[in-house]
Amino acid sequence: MNTKTKILAALGLLVAAGVLCTADIQATAPTAAQPPAQDKQFESYGQTQVIAVEPVKEMFSHKSHVVTAGLSCDSCHPDLFERKRGSTKAKGDYNMASLDAGKYCGACHDGKMAFNTTGPETCKVCHGSDMKQPETIVFNVPVKSVIFEHKGHVDMGLDCASCHDKAFEMRKGAAEEHPEKFTMEALYAGKYCGVCHNGTDAFASNTRCTTCHIGVKGFERKFAGAAQVEGKDHGKKEH
């Protein structure tokens, strides 16, 4: 009798131990891959979705300036623009920063004489309707999976000039071209996101890390479809 009792007790223990072990393993296993999120149009993995690098064609209407506005030739030539095709571009500083500083178009387009060049709506007047505002930007350089809610920031009431082109050049992937500059130290020094994220205007860059750094896991959950295309599945397999 006694032997039987012992055997039964031992059996019970084994079963219980088995259950406990499995529970243990499950508890430590990483979260299983999430089902793919709803279809989202993104041009490619980790890239931002901004405007064409080159300004669109016919961004400047000579006619509307001469005929409609009635400007004389010497309003612009040769002080602002030389009378030679491509000469302005060749100077190398034909960009929004110069316009802001009152050069080229910025001589008149300062918000007083003519519409300014960096307002939320006026960008499109010259750069055309192909300029798409990205909803979410994901940076992968220098570290992976850092998210920026572009739409959220625009909805907050910020206009293009709040960030472009001083904190961020308005071009897809521009910040990521300089991984040695695009660092947390730069942010702490008031560059890039640090322009606002300094603890006064918005939460400081050295706090709440995971708000922007959503991690590879966060990224894969958010953009499940895109991540699979890239084939980056390491560490996400089932055990």
Partner 1 sequence: MNINELEKLNNEGVEHLPSLERRTFLRAGLAITGLFMGGTILSLTSVRNAESAVGAPPKTEKYPYSPHYSMVMRQNLCVDCERCMEACVQTNHVPPYGWRTMILERVREIGPKEKETIFMPVLCNQCNEPPCVRVCPTVATYKDKTTGIVVMDSKKCIGCKTCMAACPYNARYFNEEIRAVDKCNFCYDTRLSKGKKDTACVEACPAKVRVFGDLSDPNSEVYKLVHRPETTVWVLRPETGALPNVFYMNA
Tell me how many degrees the CA angle 198-201-202 measures, rounded to the nearest 5: 70
- Nearest approach, Cβ of residue 5 and partner 1 (Å): 5
Among 65, 144, 166, 171, binds partner 1 (CB under 8 A): 144
**Closer residue to partner 1, CB minimum distance, 101 or 156:** 156
Q: Does 237 bind partner 1 (CB under 8 A)?
A: yes
Cβ proximity to partner 1: between 149 and 165 the closer is: 149
Task: Give the span between the Cα atoms of 30 and 190, in whole angstroms.
Answer: 37
Query: Which H or E element spans position 124?
Result: helix 123-127
Told to check if 35 binds partner 1 by CB under 8 A, we report no
Q: Report the run of H or E that residue 17 belongs to, with start and end.
A: helix 2-28
**DSSP character for 65?**
I
By CB under 8 A, tell whether 186 contacts partner 1: no
Is residue 224 within the footprint of partner 1 (CB under 8 A)? no
Does 141 help bind partner 1 (rule: CB under 8 A)? no
- Which of 103, 213, 222, 224 touches partner 1 (CB under 8 A)? 213
C-alpha span between 1 and 99 (Å, rounded): 98
Each residue of 108-119: b (16+ CB within 10 Å) or e?
bbeeeeeebbbe
* Bridge partner list, 138: 147
Which CB sits closer to partner 1, 63 or 239? 239
Exactly one of 36, 142, 173, 190 binds partner 1 (CB under 8 A); that residue is 142
Output b/e per residue, 184-206; b: 16+ Cβ within 10 A.
bebbeeebbbbbbbbeeeeeebe
Closest CB to partner 1 among residues 13, 59: 13
Using rule CB under 8 A, residue 208 touches partner 1: yes
The yes or no reply on residue 218 touching partner 1 (CB under 8 A) is yes
- To partner 1, the closest distance from the beta carbon of 228 in angstroms equals 14
Pairing of strands 146-149, 136-139: antiparallel
Residue environment code for 71-87, b if the CB has 16+ CB neighbours within 10 A, otherwise e = eeeeebeeeeeeeeeee
Q: Is 29 in the site for partner 1 (CB under 8 A)?
A: yes
State which residue, 36 or 142, has the beta carbon closest to partner 1.
142
The residues that touch partner 1, with contacts defined as CB under 8 A, are 1, 4-5, 8-9, 12-13, 16, 21, 24-25, 28-31, 142-146, 208-211, 213-218, 233-235, 237, 239
